[in-house]
Structure 1
Amino acid sequence: MTFGKGCHLHLIDGSAFIFRAYHALPPLTRKSDGLPIGAVAGFCNMLFKTVEDNQGPDAPTHVAVIFDYSGKSFRNDIYDLYKANRPPAPEDLVPQFPLTRDATRAFNIACIEQEGFEADDIIATYARQAREAGGRVTIISSDKDLMQLVGGGVEMLDAMKNKRIGIEGVEEKFGVGPDRVVDVQALAGDSVDNVPGAPGIGIKTAALLINEFGDLDTLLERAEEIKQPKRRETLIEKADQIRMSRELVTLDDHVPVEEGLDAFELREPEAETLLPFLASMEFRSLSKRIADRMGVEPVVIPEPAAAEDAGGEEPEWPEIDPEKYEWVKDDAALGRWIDLIRERGYVAVDTETTSLNEMQAELVGISLAVIPGEACYIPLTHKTGESGDLFGSGDRAEGQMETEAVLEALKPVLEDPSILKIFQNAKYDCKLFRRYGVWVTPIDDTMLMSYALHSGLHNHGMDALSDRYLGHTPIPIKDLLGTGKSAITFDYVKIEDAVKYAAEDADITLRLWHTFKPRLHRAKVTTVYETLERPLSPVLATMEMNGVQVDRDVLSRMSNAFAQKMAGLEAEIHELAGESFNVGSPAQLGEILFEKMGFEGGKKGKTGKYSTPADVLEDLAAQHDLPARVLDWRQLSKLKSTYTDALQTHIDPDTGRVHTSYIQTGANTGRLASTDPNLQNIPVRSEEGRRIREAFVAPEGKRLLSLDYSQIELRILAHVAGIESMKQAFRDGEDIHAATASEMFDVPLDEMTPDVRRQAKAINFGVIYGISGFGLARNLRIERKQAQGFIDRYFEKYPGIKEYMDETVAFAKEHQRVETLFGRVIHTPEINAKGPHAGFAKRAAINAPIQGTAADIIRRAMIRMPDAIEALPVKMLLQVHDELIFEVDEAAVDDVIPVIREVMEGASNPAVKLDVPLVVDAGQGANWAEAH
């Protein structure tokens, strides 16, 4: 077919597909030889989807995939630093580039690349040719650089979002039409491609200027008319650079292309070419899918002798189709599901409730899945009418079973030790079931599996995991509940909608379990999951349900005292400033400090207003009282709003206690996070912060116990870095900071001054977190040169620490991960990045094995604790990093402390035998402040 009027050309941006596939999917290697193929697998799936979706009025008549040719383009002749700051392609992606070209040809689609030209220029050329021939063009890409081509029969399609981009979409992105996109880009520049543009001018400002002056040439000719001095100066001084930038961003639509449009005529894939290629890649499920579509037998792919791989291809499951899920309405239907569960020996379970607060939430329904694609929802307490509707009946909707009857039927299954219950975030559902008298065991948790496998790579929520590992976007909850003030609770969702949403959650959870479970072994993190993650979940659930008693009156009195103290500080601040202003406004404070009082170091943000973060105020506090008083005021304001006021709202009306929630996956290193409320960030360095803990009290006849690991991270550092003198100091029970000071500064222990010890302490703890000379200088309020001298001397005295740091960074750079002593894997994807994140990534890599090992040790202690204290009158209430808080009968304090201490001090054994002893300090009191 000759290309002309009525023809529709699809131009696919091949590079965009490759990188999207690479970053969206976990690493995958060919089983037979270990060749990386993850990006190729994703690329093939995308191509197949594109071919499958080519139906209806927008179907193409002609298709081509356009690739970037490796090497320099004509733009490097214009500007030798063009794309100079782009990092090299990931090592495991490089061998996949040629395979994606092979894949394109295997799908019988034209595959185009040309030396000296980028894919965007080739796309621009073919788009122009097609438009001139009277045809339509769809560019399948979300690359903003291609938006200059839109219009006159050319549009773009973001295939990932299934969103078409026409002239309006371009105007929304750039603030100008497609014909002025290059002018805006010339001004704004592009940090990714290293296009310099006009410094300080972003896309919004560029669009304003182009809209005001009409085009770039007119703007540069009339730059003298610009009112803002800095902007005017930039446009005049950088005019040549801006014009060069326009050359760099303007696509060349006259590339001397070798293939004509007629060569792109749409052709069906040929089974004899495509299926052998897919077989050579060992893509089993995709081969079967495509063979089924073509009505032929797939090529047999032999299993290799050793089927160990990093990822494994997804199993052959039916598509997720919420229309097929079952609404369970009676005993007979529920009975069939229970029989199926007993037959299989496992079930994915999910609950729908009225609240995210497990202590207050009411059960609305339960969903189950046993086979991927088959799931059900058992509605229990859905209501008719609208939530908050005065005229809605609020009656129980029809087609539901009684909660009591359903739980009575499911309880034997949920408590049966021979049937595995699979959850995504099991702790939430298990706490809810406990409140209804059902103790679910045993469990598997896909969120925790993902955490063990992928810590440091991404978050572990179900929607993100489904999107990333199943290629499926779940039904959004906001579609059912709405948002903001008009949001409803789940019991007001129509049952037919609830069935689709809730059963889909169970189906997805089951598929994630099938995906992750075999990978634990391949990634060598089974031990981490089985000994540190899975058994901790029920322990945390019990702690959260125990809660801790908080005295509302103490909090109220503190709030009033803080408010009075803040008012006094405000008066002082206004007096020092010589005028009244809003102390809580960083912008107003910035004007006082940097304009009125003339301090240096003021920086304005994008809004043109000053920012006054704590580090800036700390530097200024050495020069003047006002910033020091503002820091004091901010601390009190934070304590008042976050703790003394907010904690009162978190006291549970039924228990009179505060029930925090622990997030097991909250930190990459294995540390727990605490939320609603956060009890791990209560400041303890200030007197006021320490006083907050006075509100956490023991009930009458009981005491609070605090048991805290002493300097655990330093002990781990001494062990991993092999610092003999430090290890000996710990074995001898010496004051480690005094010992360090003695070693560093050649001061005998009996002549040690508090000031010298304080310096050694700051260095000891600072080194664990990769502190710089600048940071230590700020901590100790000394000259930066002197601080750097301390750090240099520290590394001279303890060369093993520097060796540990260098070796850890080198390992992280090579393997993109670090590990704790217990085998926890913490991925470090940013470790080879350039720029401001590089230093942070290195410090994080150095600290992660130490902090992570400490986190693993206290997890091991917490997991062993319930058995150890089962017969004692004591409950474990809280964990704050290296500290555990208990509530104990007054008469049993002396009996309980040795039991808990023994568990904590021996927690690393037998898995890891440390060269230094773990020491646990114990305290007790009527409140947390007294106990700690």
Structure 2
Amino acid sequence: MSSKKESNTAKTKSPEVKKPDGKLPGKGDHIFLVDGSGYIFRAYHALPPLTRKSDGLPVGAVSGFCNMLYKLLQDTKDEFEPTHLAVIFDHSGKSFRNELYADYKAHRPPAPEDLVPQFALIRDAVRAFDVPSIEMEGFEADDLIATYACQAAANGARVTIVSSDKDLMQLVNGNIDMLDTMKLKAIGPAEVEEKFGVGPDKVVDVQALAGDSVDNVPGVPGIGIKTAALLINEYGDLDTLLERAGEIKQKKRRENLIEFADQARISRDLVRLKQDVPVTVGLEEMDIKTPDPVKLIGFLKDMEFTTLTKRVASELGVEADEVPAAGEHPADAPVIVEAKGPTERGGAPGAVSPSVEAPIDPDAYETVTEPGALKAWLKEAKDQGFMALDTETDSLDAMAARLVGVSIATRPGKACYIPLQHGSGEGLDFDGNGTPEQISLDEALGLLKPVLEDPAVLKIGQNLKYDLQVLKRHGIDVAPIDDTMLMSYALDAGLHGHGMDELSKLHLGHEPIPFKEIAGSGKSQITFDQVPIPKATRYAAEDADVTLRLYMILKPRLVAEKKITVYETLERPLVPVLVDMEHEGVKIDRQVLSRLSGEFSQKMGAYEEEIYELAGEEFNIGSPKQLGEILYDKKGLSGGRKTKTGAWSTDAAALEELAAQGHELPQRILDWRGLSKLKSTYTDALPEYINKETGRVHTSYSMASTTTGRLASSEPNLQNIPVRTEDGRRIRTAFIAEKGMKLISADYSQIELRLVAHIAGVKELKDAFADGLDIHAMTASEIFNVPIKGMEPSVRRRAKAINFGIIYGISAFGLANQLGISRSEAGDYIDLYFKRFPGIRDYMESTKESAHKNGFVETIFGRKIHLPEINSKNGARRSFMERAAINAPIQGSAADIIRRAMIHMAGALSRVDLKARMLLQVHDELIFEAPEKETEKTCKLVCDVMSKAAEPAIALSVPLDVEANAADNWDEAH
């Protein structure tokens, strides 16, 4: 693992192309995920060496990659109609698999010398095409692809993985396929089964047995793909096979399976793709855009790709000669403001002096290895009242990371690094004794603590939540703070990403030192505590220097652009709240999860027997091909559709359609699949996240990963635990309170509908909420002219679908699919709705008009959400952005309200001496742990704070209803 510069959310290298609505793509959308690393090597080997004529720079792989990406974008427009696309790359460093197995990929040779300088150019090329270029330290591209694919498929979207990599074939199912663009071949479940002899759901087990010499996955000696497939088909899965290995008749095979059983299990962990990577770029940010002609053509001309430049210019309808090469003009010239630095505690600085634009010189930074020198730096910070701060660690997990060092900047260009826990190694020796000279951890923390906690000294950082969490574990509560990531987020949400490297290039015109430059890459990469201290100083102190310069540019903008209130009331004060929540964590009952896992297994077994009986034969339930043959060829069920490969589609939509016709078999298949997902994603996986020291699970919240202000949870994601099914809700029974405590769940009731009523000024809806009526029954009564008393459930259900659909700009087509009615009937319902509630249509039209004029919308608290493509010439794209414009103020206002509630909560509890601790935020719900004897008082106070969270900033014209309950576990409290 490396320092958090590249591994943490705000300091990731992954460029972000933001989308303003914050909604995940779902049914009707088609996501293309391109295996960028595979593309690179195909491009490199497909073409002869090519250099740029002007300077001899190798560009053959860049040329091949650009042509392949352009062809993909052009070829898929009509046949596949993708709505979203991203290119995913391998990070240059080690992945978590190297911690599981040190020799993983150890035999791979280094990249060819002429390819190395092209990696960065290829990432630039992707950005020039206005496509997200994504990578994450600690994870391979396949893991990110798996995470995105499963997220999108779970949300109803279709996914195509552009790759032929066999490791990705484990992901293929009814909603996820692959496309080999070199052979123009689609890869679905049938193709996977043809290659491996098993369906996609068993590929991992087969690979675990067979191993992989290319990646140095050991497997079991003497077992290849064919033998592995035979064994897995016979015994069902790897665990069963290993348990019953003694039954194998072939002596050598039996002995190897017994002897190398643990090796097989390790191999399974190596080949199984991670589906819950804490990605920092969301699916909602991958929507396909028309590239900026100046940016794309400028890049191509800079690379001297004449033919492709002409083709692209023609496609975009511009004259290539009128666009300068990227190197001929400062495309990302820094924004320079004149000022001196922060002169008020926590306030905006005065004018930034010209020193902000002075060249950044990493060789000028100081290494602090003596207590006296550290005292001098801290005295300067205390005298002037501010300092930039950054930590370096050896882990992505703030609750487990070792504090390796701290960097400080007091003026632009003046920064230092304080090494604390660098180990011995080549280049580390300062004094000839074999260990680096550095201040002891305890002594350094003793000197830092008074200043870091001094209310008269402002601490400035980038994504400070991580640093605060690390320092909190060492007994330091850092305050007051300012965060450049959150300043950028308050100013420019939707325009670009907010990571330090991206902000540095955008505002300072400076590209910070990449991690691989100081720690190496691939097999030879070292952790930050092993980085030679002189190199560590250049890298770490630069972070602090860049952060201070960004602060001096961004803080004045908050005032000038009237976003200081958003930052000061919704962003900055939430940081310590989330630090405390993440630090507390939540207790998980392993036994409950184990029992549920066993029950799910038994229930799945019962389903299997029932499925076999209904089918009239046994078959591989996880095989779409076999299932399709059973349903359509043998049973003769009607309404089936075939995929482009000619196989029957057995995705969730197809099975749900059959089940709705009254067929039992497809319903049981759906039941079986649902349990399988619950078991693998939750009951089996959650125990792995329990912290060994605390015995609790500590999720991490991302503050700037959506455009609307909604928080995102990761490692693990506790915001997506299913609640729509009984079995899904049972997962929450494993979230428990400590002895003598209770969990409290407090949930807003229909907050987004209430905000529609307030923002759109709909009197009928406001009156209904004020009177505490059933809003869906009232809507049904208003639209369909039926009395509320004795109303049929189906009528209320239709009104509910319209109520929630209006928020998300539902179309007649979408409503028809949701209710199972004709499109014309659905259109009539929507027309009736708007006739009865004309204020909603007025709101929608005025919001769209404002968005087209201004390029952004705002929440009721002033959060600005930029919509850079609202005036797109593409009609479908423009319509999509208009729907986003309508939804964003509603969803964003709801997100702002719960942020305000969280910020107000700690003080409210403290004032009445209640000991409750806020543990989790799940969309419109807050979860607390409170002493059993205080639950009644705590519930009352929590409801009061949440219901009044908008005040005094906004006096809502509708009440915010909150329901809070206490119980021993989350499910009972919800």
Match of 1:706 in 2: 745
Cα distance in 2 for residues equivalent to 1:593 and 1:457? 48
Match of 1:907 in 2: 949
Cα distance in 2 for residues equivalent to 1:580 and 1:350? 60
Alpha carbon RMSD of aligned pairs, Å?
4.3
The farther-off stretch of 374-383 and 313-322 is: 313-322
Q: State the Cα distance separating 1:778 from its structure 2 match.
A: 2.8
Matching of residue 664 in structure 1 with residue 703 in structure 2: yes
Give, as a single letter, the amino acid of the residue that structure 1 aligns with 2:935: V
> Helix, strand or coil for the counterpart of 1:497?
helix
Matching of residue 798 in structure 1 with residue 692 in structure 2: no
The answer to whether the Cα contact below 8 Å between 2:51 and 2:59 also exists between their aligned partners in 1 is: no
Cα distance in 2 for residues equivalent to 1:151 and 1:706? 63
Cα distance in 1 for residues equivalent to 2:932 and 2:683? 27
The answer to whether the Cα contact below 8 Å between 1:285 and 1:316 also exists between their aligned partners in 2 is: no
Number of positions where the alignment pairs a residue of Structure 1 with one of Structure 2: 683
Calculate percent identity across the aligned residue pairs: 53
Question: Within 5 Å, which residues of 2 pair with 1:15-30?
Answer: none
Question: Structure 1 residues 582 and 497, CA, compared in 2 at 3 Å: closer, same or farther?
Answer: farther
Q: State the Cα distance separating 1:722 from its structure 2 match.
A: 1.1
Q: Of 406, 410, 414, which residue of structure 2 is paired with 1:370?
A: 410
The answer to whether the Cα contact below 8 Å between 1:285 and 1:315 also exists between their aligned partners in 2 is: no
Cα distance in 1 for residues equivalent to 2:676 and 2:738? 29
> Helix, strand or coil for the counterpart of 1:879?
strand
Match of 2:599 in 1: 561
Q: Of 331, 334, 341, which residue of structure 1 is paired with 2:371?
A: 331
> Helix, strand or coil for the counterpart of 2:685?
helix
Cα distance in 2 for residues equivalent to 1:686 and 1:896? 29
Match of 1:56 in 2: none
Cα distance in 1 for residues equivalent to 2:864 and 2:452? 32
Q: 1:156-176: per-residue Cα shift (whole Å, max 9, x none)?
A: 67x9xx95435x764566589
The answer to whether the Cα contact below 8 Å between 2:335 and 2:553 also exists between their aligned partners in 1 is: no
Match of 2:570 in 1: 532
Matching of residue 809 in structure 1 with residue 848 in structure 2: yes
Match of 1:853 in 2: 893
Question: Within 5 Å, which residues of 2 pair with 1:564-643?
Answer: 564-573=602-611, 583-584=621-622, 602=641, 604=643, 614-623=652-661, 624-643=663-682
Cα distance in 2 for residues equivalent to 1:284 and 1:492? 34
Q: How does the TM-score come out when normalised to structure 2?
A: 0.63
Give, as a single letter, the amino acid of the residue that structure 2 aligns with 1:830: E
Match of 1:740 in 2: 779
Cα distance in 2 for residues equivalent to 1:807 and 1:706? 37
Give, as a single letter, the amino acid of the residue that structure 2 aligns with 1:877: L
Matching of residue 552 in structure 1 with residue 590 in structure 2: yes
Q: State the Cα distance separating 1:700 from its structure 2 match.
A: 1.4
> Helix, strand or coil for the counterpart of 1:500?
helix
Match of 1:889 in 2: 931
Q: Of 915, 918, 922, which residue of structure 2 is paired with 1:876?
A: 918
Q: State the Cα distance separating 1:784 from its structure 2 match.
A: 3.1
The answer to whether the Cα contact below 8 Å between 1:805 and 1:846 also exists between their aligned partners in 2 is: yes
Give, as a single letter, the amino acid of the residue that structure 2 aligns with 1:399: E
Question: Structure 1 residues 514 and 790, CA, compared in 2 at 3 Å: closer, same or farther?
Answer: same
Matching of residue 506 in structure 1 with residue 544 in structure 2: yes
Question: Structure 1 residues 205 and 359, CA, compared in 2 at 3 Å: closer, same or farther?
Answer: closer
Cα distance in 1 for residues equivalent to 2:57 and 2:676? 46
Cα distance in 2 for residues equivalent to 1:330 and 1:505? 21
Q: Of 686, 707, 713, which residue of structure 1 is paired with 2:725?
A: 686
The answer to whether the Cα contact below 8 Å between 1:704 and 1:927 also exists between their aligned partners in 2 is: yes
The answer to whether the Cα contact below 8 Å between 1:314 and 1:515 also exists between their aligned partners in 2 is: no
The answer to whether the Cα contact below 8 Å between 2:67 and 2:308 also exists between their aligned partners in 1 is: no
Cα distance in 2 for residues equivalent to 1:621 and 1:404? 65
Cα distance in 2 for residues equivalent to 1:895 and 1:452? 35
The answer to whether the Cα contact below 8 Å between 2:17 and 2:495 also exists between their aligned partners in 1 is: no
Match of 2:438 in 1: 400
The farther-off stretch of 676-685 and 746-755 is: 746-755
The answer to whether the Cα contact below 8 Å between 1:156 and 1:164 also exists between their aligned partners in 2 is: no
The answer to whether the Cα contact below 8 Å between 1:284 and 1:313 also exists between their aligned partners in 2 is: no
Matching of residue 165 in structure 1 with residue 59 in structure 2: yes
Question: Structure 1 residues 444 and 187, CA, compared in 2 at 3 Å: closer, same or farther?
Answer: closer
Matching of residue 753 in structure 1 with residue 792 in structure 2: yes
Question: Structure 1 residues 930 and 173, CA, compared in 2 at 3 Å: closer, same or farther?
Answer: closer
Match of 2:225 in 1: none
The answer to whether the Cα contact below 8 Å between 1:186 and 1:246 also exists between their aligned partners in 2 is: no
> Helix, strand or coil for the counterpart of 1:908?
coil
Cα distance in 1 for residues equivalent to 2:859 and 2:793? 34
Q: State the Cα distance separating 1:708 from its structure 2 match.
A: 1.1
Cα distance in 2 for residues equivalent to 1:928 and 1:321? 53
Cα distance in 2 for residues equivalent to 1:700 and 1:359? 23
Match of 1:720 in 2: 759
Matching of residue 831 in structure 1 with residue 831 in structure 2: no
Question: Within 5 Å, which residues of 2 pair with 1:104-503?
Answer: 155=52, 163-165=57-59, 170=63, 249=311, 316-385=356-425, 397-481=435-519, 488-503=526-541
Question: Structure 1 residues 558 and 484, CA, compared in 2 at 3 Å: closer, same or farther?
Answer: farther
Cα distance in 2 for residues equivalent to 1:205 and 1:559? 37
> Helix, strand or coil for the counterpart of 1:501?
helix
Higher relative contact order, structure no. (Cα contacts within 8 Å, ≥ 6 residues apart): 2
- In the alignment, structure 2 segments of 5+ residues that lack a partner are 1-14, 19-43, 82-161, 164-178, 185-306, 339-347, 428-432
Match of 1:763 in 2: 802
Question: Structure 1 residues 900 and 248, CA, compared in 2 at 3 Å: closer, same or farther?
Answer: closer
Q: State the Cα distance separating 1:379 from its structure 2 match.
A: 0.7
Q: State the Cα distance separating 1:528 from its structure 2 match.
A: 0.4
Q: State the Cα distance separating 1:396 from its structure 2 match.
A: 8.1
The answer to whether the Cα contact below 8 Å between 1:24 and 1:468 also exists between their aligned partners in 2 is: no
Q: State the Cα distance separating 1:744 from its structure 2 match.
A: 1.2
> Helix, strand or coil for the counterpart of 1:876?
strand
Give, as a single letter, the amino acid of the residue that structure 1 aligns with 2:408: L
Q: Which one has a bigger Cα radius of gyration? A: 1
> Helix, strand or coil for the counterpart of 2:966?
strand
The answer to whether the Cα contact below 8 Å between 2:742 and 2:966 also exists between their aligned partners in 1 is: yes
Q: Of 945, 959, 972, which residue of structure 2 is paired with 1:917?
A: 959
The answer to whether the Cα contact below 8 Å between 2:394 and 2:404 also exists between their aligned partners in 1 is: yes
Cα distance in 2 for residues equivalent to 1:24 and 1:702? 42
Q: State the Cα distance separating 1:743 from its structure 2 match.
A: 1.0
Cα distance in 2 for residues equivalent to 1:694 and 1:185? 47
Q: Of 827, 830, 852, which residue of structure 2 is paired with 1:788?
A: 827
Give, as a single letter, the amino acid of the residue that structure 1 aligns with 2:961: V
Question: Structure 1 residues 334 and 738, CA, compared in 2 at 3 Å: closer, same or farther?
Answer: same
Question: Within 5 Å, which residues of 2 pair with 1:19-58?
Answer: none
Q: How does the TM-score come out when normalised to structure 1?
A: 0.66
The answer to whether the Cα contact below 8 Å between 1:455 and 1:826 also exists between their aligned partners in 2 is: yes
Q: State the Cα distance separating 1:576 from its structure 2 match.
A: 5.7
Match of 1:59 in 2: none
Cα distance in 2 for residues equivalent to 1:882 and 1:474? 38
Q: State the Cα distance separating 1:438 from its structure 2 match.
A: 1.0
Q: State the Cα distance separating 1:468 from its structure 2 match.
A: 2.5
Cα distance in 1 for residues equivalent to 2:729 and 2:436? 54
Cα distance in 1 for residues equivalent to 2:753 and 2:770? 13
Q: 1:741-799: per-residue Cα shift (whole Å, max 9, x none)?
A: 11111112223232222222222112111222232233333333322222221111111
Cα distance in 2 for residues equivalent to 1:882 and 1:734? 20
Q: 1:90-138: per-residue Cα shift (whole Å, max 9, x none)?
A: xxxxxxxxxxxxxxxxxxxxxxxxxxxxxxxxxxxxxxxxxxxxxxxxx
- In the alignment, structure 1 segments of 5+ residues that lack a partner are 1-22, 27-146, 195-201, 210-244, 289-307, 388-394
Q: State the Cα distance separating 1:648 from its structure 2 match.
A: 0.3
> Helix, strand or coil for the counterpart of 1:750?
coil
Question: Structure 1 residues 484 and 625, CA, compared in 2 at 3 Å: closer, same or farther?
Answer: farther
Q: 1:871-928: per-residue Cα shift (whole Å, max 9, x none)?
A: 1121111111111111111111122222221111111111111111111111111111
> Helix, strand or coil for the counterpart of 1:382?
coil
The answer to whether the Cα contact below 8 Å between 1:381 and 1:397 also exists between their aligned partners in 2 is: no
